[in-house]
Structure formats: C-alpha cells, structure tokens
Structure 1
Amino acid sequence: MKSVQIKNRDMAWHIAANTLLPPNFDEKKQYPAIVSVHPFGSCKEQTSGNVYGKALAEQGFVVIPYDASFQGASGGEPRWIEDPTQRVEDISHVIDYAVTLPYVDADRIGVIGVCGGGGYVLNATLTEKRIKAVVAITPVNIGRLFREGFSSYDPLGALDAMAAQRTKEARGGELQVNELLPASPDVAKANGLTERDVFEATDYYKTPRGQQPGGWTRMLFSHAQNTLGWDAFAFAEMLMTQPMMVVIGERVGAFGAYRDGMEIYGRSTASKDRQIVSLEDWSHYDLYDKPEPVRLALEKLVPFFKTHLGGATAASRSQAAE
C-alpha cells in the first residue's frame, strides 16, 4: 500500500488516498484500476478500503480508496461538509491521478462505492465516461434520504433551518456540526434508537468493529442545502451506458438502500450489462464487513470487474521504450 496526496489544479486542497497494489506487482505491466468510494460519514480506512479495496487488490486490480474532500485526512475547509457535487467531482480528480500512473491502463478504470458512496459512483458514471464499469454496494441516493428521513420528511423546514444557521455562522456564530449517530449501541438502546439501519450503523461506526480515526460520522449542517436538491439517479435512463452492478441486502432498513438499488437497476435500461445481486438474509451494514455477505458480494462483483476491465497486461510499446 502506498499513501498519496492527490493535488489537482481545480482544487485548493489535496485528496488523501491509498494505492493498493496486487500481489507480485510488476511496475512494468499495466493493470486495471478501481477507485473505491467510502460511505457518508466514513473514511478510506473503513469498508471501502479495508474490505472491498483490499479484496479487489488481492484479485489483481490497482485499487485507490480515498477520503472525500472536507473529510478524513483530505483537505478542505470548513470540515465535515457533505456536498454531493464535490463528492462526485472527487471521483474524477482521483481518476485524473490514476491515469498518470504508468502501471494503470487508462482505458480500464472502474469504480466501486458503498452506501452513500454507492450513490456517488453511480452518479459519476452517468457523465464520467472514463469509467468503464461500476459496482454499487448497498447504494443510497443521499439526496432522497435527506429529503425524507434525515429532514424528518420536512425538507423545506430543513432548508429554512440551514439558511438561518448559515447566516448565523457568517456573522461569527459557532458552526453547527451534527453528530449523525448515537455515541454507542448502549446509548442507542437507552434512547429507543433500535431501528435496524440506525442501530447497525452505530454498532459499526461506534465500536471497535469499524471505528477509525477519520470516520467521524459528522456533518456541517449549514452547508447541506445542496444535498436536499440533489438526485443521484437523474437522467439514468439516458446516461447510464456502462456495465453496472448493484448489490443489496433484503433485510430492509430506514436508509433505503434496497429501494434505491432496485430503482437504479430498473432505470438503467441503456447499460451495456446491468446486474442486480439481492442477498436474502443480509442487511445494509452486514455488507460493510460481515464475512459471509461480503463473500457473496465478491463472488459476483470480482468476475464482473474482470469481464469488463480484464487483468494485468504487458506495458505498451511506448512505455516499454521509456
């Protein structure tokens, strides 16, 4: 694994990323690459990197998990902004980095994302045609979730509150940073927060099972207006032309990944190869790191990526000459 700081001329900050290399890596060869995108409130050291990223690297891909702008070890101020437009743009910036690597084949780049990251990779694939295949693990359309459950089904009220808070902060008031989850599973139980997705998210992010220093599960409330007006799946019928796979669990929770996965699969009629993997006995957060559902997901997505991205090849003549 190599840790890198990606700087792009379009940004005033860096993106922190890890480059995961295949076994017996040979820098004289070219490999297919996969950009791995973490969930909302997460970081590259969690499921996108240490589960799916690690497994895909072991299967022969160069994998680049990274921290979103304003989050984890990446730059950007103020901290903990969740801006879908920036999140999707980050994917293109990481691809910009990947195509400069002599051991990456620029014509064989895929993306994978988990939860909110799944929604972001699907959205990026609509317009970023350097992406040749996309896999979304229990994807969530974060705009839909904000308009519904995250705003208590009062999106206009949430927008008014965000506007008032942003004005307060512009006048020197303190930032309002919202913690997205209870402090522990015990706290969740004590407060009756036992809905499946909320409780299982707490069990993942707030215990040694999934805790990482960069996975803060925080959000700057005043800068979330764009999220409520964003749709991960806009124009999917027309623009989702690349091969696409969605993996969902049938134990449904409040965050709506099963519903969103079914929707994007149904709408992506222009895709060259659309597939859906529905796991009967598993939930959203089981797919983050539980060995059995992850194994079932990998059994489908690894061959999918190998079909559409291929394996390592000899370097091009121009590179060999260099």
Structure 2
Amino acid sequence: MEKITFRNSDMLWDISALVLYPPNFNPSQKYPLIVSVHPFGSCKEQTSGAVYGKALAEAGYVVIAHDASFQGESGGFPRYVEEPAQRVEDVSRVIDYAVTLPYVDADRIGGIGICGGGAYIINAALTEKRLKAVVGITPVNLGRLFREGFSQFQPITALESMAAQRTLEARGEELQVNELLPPGPEAAVKLGLTERDVSEATDYYKTPRGQQPGGATKMLFSHAQKILSWDAFAFAETLMTQPVMAVIGNKVGAFGAYRDGMEIYGRSVVSKDRQLVELNDWSHYDLYDKSEPVALAIARVTPFFEAHLA
C-alpha cells in the first residue's frame, strides 16, 4: 500500500488516496483497477480502503481508495462539504489519474462504494463509461435520505434554514459545522438514539472499531443545499448500461440502504448484468467491517468483477 496525492490539470486542489497493490505486484504488467469510494462522513482509511480495498487488492486488482474533496486529507475549502456532484466528479478525476499509470489497464476499470459511496459510484457510472462494472455495498441515495429522514420530511424548511445560515456566513459569521453522530455509544443511549443505523454508526465511527482521524462525521450545514435536489439513480433506466451489483443486508435501518439497493436493481433495466445480493440477518453497518458478512459480500463481488474486467 502507498499513500499518494495527485492533482490533474483541471483541478484546484490535491486529492489524497491510498493505492493498494495485489500480491507480487509487478509494475511492468497491466492490472485491472478498482476505484473505491468511502461513505458519507468517512475516509479512505476506513471501510473503503481497509476492508473492501484490501480484499480486492488481495484478489489481484490495483485499488485506489481516495478521500473526497473537502474531506479527510484531500484539499478543498471550506472543509466538511458534502456535494454529490463533486463526489461524482472525484471518481472521474481518480480515473484521469489512474489511466496515466503504466501498470493500469484503462479498458478494465471498475468501481465499488459503501453506503453513500455506493450510490456515488453507481451515479458516476451513468455517465462515466470508463467504468466497466460497479458495485454498491449497502448503497444509500443521499439525496433521498436528506429529503426524508435527515430533514424530518421537511426539505423546504431545511433548505430555508441552510439559505439563512449561508447568508450569515457570507456576512462574516462563524461557519456552522454539524456533528452528525453522538460522541459515543453510551451518549447515544442517554440521548435515546437507539435506532439501528444511528446506534451502529456510532459504534463504528466513535469507537476504536472504525474511528480514524480523517473520518470526521461532520457536515458544513450551509453548503448542503444541493444534496436535497440530487437523485443518485436519476436516468438509471436509460443510462445504467454497465453491469451493476447492489449488496444489501435485510436487517433494515432508517438510512434506507435496503430500499435503495432494491431501487437501483429495479431501475437498471438496460444494464448488461444487474445483480441484487441480499444477505440475511445482517445490517448496514455489519457490512462495513464485520468478517462474516464482508466475506459473504466479497464472495459475490469478486467473481462479478472477474466476469466483467477479465
């Protein structure tokens, strides 16, 4: 594994990434590439790199797991911006960098993402046809989630609040950076935040299980407006031509990965190979790092990529 930074000719800031190499890597050979996209509020050192990136590198792929712009160790200011269009553009910029590497086969590029990253890599594939196959691990359509649960089903009220806050900040007031999770599992219980996804997210992000310095579960509130008008799966019926797989656990939580995985499978009617993998008795955050469900997922993901990136 190697940590890198890169900046393509049209970029204004650096992207930080981990490059994970297959066993017995030989830079004079050509390898298929996987772009691995981290969840909302995550970073490259967590599940996208340390779990799925590592497993796919061991299976023979070069994997690039990057930090999103404005997040982790990547550049961009202000910090903690979650902007779907930028997240999708980051995927193309990683590919732009990767195709300059002599050991990457530009005709064999796939993508994988977890949670919000799963929806981002699927959305990227709608227009980024250098991606030959994509996998969403417990994919969450962040636009749908913000319009529903995160705004308490009041998206217009949320947008008006964001607008007012952005005006204050433009006039010199302090930026409003929202922490998205309680500080730890005990605090979550005291606050009554016991819903499955919230509780398990806290256990992953706020304990040594998954906690990383770059995985700041924060969001700049005033710059989140465009999330609410975004749909990860818009035009999938027409544009999702590549093979696509959604892996979901059937222990359902409030963030909606189960329904979103079902939705993209149902809408990908022109895909060359659409697959839905439903794992019994596992939840959204189980699929981040728990050995048994991850092994079940990888057992389906690896032959899928082998079939389409061979």
For 1:315, the equivalent position in structure 2 comes to none
Query: RMSD in angstroms over aligned alpha carbons?
Result: 0.5
For 1:317, the equivalent position in structure 2 comes to none
**What CA distance in whole angstroms lies between the structure 2 residues aligned with 1:111 and 1:157?**
35
1:84-95 → structure 2 map (5 Å cutoff): 84-95=84-95
Once the two structures are TM-superposed, the CA of residue 43 in structure 1 deviates from its matched residue by 0.1
SS at match of 2:299: helix
For 1:162, the equivalent position in structure 2 comes to 162
1:150-229 → structure 2 map (5 Å cutoff): 150-229=150-229
TM-score, normalised relative to structure 2: 1.00
The letter for the 1-side match of 2:116 is: G
Q: Are 1:277 and 2:243 matched, yes or no?
A: no
SS at match of 2:211: coil
**What CA distance in whole angstroms lies between the structure 2 residues aligned with 1:223 and 1:79?**
10
The letter for the 2-side match of 1:84 is: P
**What CA distance in whole angstroms lies between the structure 1 residues aligned with 2:85 and 2:140?**
15
Once the two structures are TM-superposed, the CA of residue 235 in structure 1 deviates from its matched residue by 0.2
SS at match of 1:188: helix
**What CA distance in whole angstroms lies between the structure 1 residues aligned with 2:20 and 2:106?**
17
Once the two structures are TM-superposed, the CA of residue 9 in structure 1 deviates from its matched residue by 2.1
For 1:109, the equivalent position in structure 2 comes to 109
**What CA distance in whole angstroms lies between the structure 1 residues aligned with 2:10 and 2:262?**
35
Q: Are 1:81 and 2:76 matched, yes or no?
A: no
Once the two structures are TM-superposed, the CA of residue 51 in structure 1 deviates from its matched residue by 0.1
For 2:300, the equivalent position in structure 1 comes to 300
Once the two structures are TM-superposed, the CA of residue 23 in structure 1 deviates from its matched residue by 0.3
The letter for the 2-side match of 1:36 is: S
For 2:240, the equivalent position in structure 1 comes to 240
**What CA distance in whole angstroms lies between the structure 1 residues aligned with 2:65 and 2:27?**
19
The letter for the 2-side match of 1:98 is: A
**What CA distance in whole angstroms lies between the structure 2 residues aligned with 1:191 and 1:4?**
40
SS at match of 1:194: coil
Where does the alignment leave 5 or more consecutive residues of structure 2 unmatched?
none
Deviation per CA, 1:91-121: give whole Å up to 9, x if none.
Answer: 0000001100000000000000000000100
Where does the alignment leave 5 or more consecutive residues of structure 1 unmatched?
311-322
**What CA distance in whole angstroms lies between the structure 1 residues aligned with 2:139 and 2:220?**
22
Once the two structures are TM-superposed, the CA of residue 132 in structure 1 deviates from its matched residue by 0.2
For 1:42, the equivalent position in structure 2 comes to 42
**What CA distance in whole angstroms lies between the structure 2 residues aligned with 1:10 and 1:213?**
28
**What CA distance in whole angstroms lies between the structure 2 residues aligned with 1:268 and 1:10?**
32
Poorly superposed stretches of 4+, deviation over 3 Å: none
Once the two structures are TM-superposed, the CA of residue 10 in structure 1 deviates from its matched residue by 2.1
The letter for the 2-side match of 1:223 is: H
TM-score, normalised relative to structure 1: 0.96
**What CA distance in whole angstroms lies between the structure 1 residues aligned with 2:26 and 2:11?**
32
Q: How many residues align?
A: 310
The letter for the 1-side match of 2:257 is: A
1:134-153 → structure 2 map (5 Å cutoff): 134-153=134-153
